[in-house]
Amino acid sequence: MNVSGRHGGHALFMTLATLVVMMLLWMVAFGQISSWLRTEKVHLYSQDRALGPTRAMAWGLKLLETGQPPITPYACRANVGDAGEFVITFALTAPLQYQVDVRPATQQDEDLPAAPTEF
Using alpha carbons only, what angle is made at residue 63 by residues 59 and 69, rounded to the nearest 5 degrees?
130
1 pLDDT band (50/70/90 cuts)? low
Model confidence over 18-62: pLDDT tens digits?
999 999 988 888 888 888 888 888 888 877 766 788 888 888 888
In the Cβ-directed half-sphere of 75, how many Cα atoms lie within 13 Å? 14
Give the dihedral sign, CA 101/106/111/115.
Answer: positive
User: What pairs with residue 103 in β-bridges?
Assistant: 87
pTM of the predicted model over 0.95: no
Model confidence over 72-85: pLDDT tens digits?
888 998 888 777 78
User: What pairs with residue 88 in β-bridges?
Assistant: 76, 102
Maximal C-alpha separation, the chain: 103
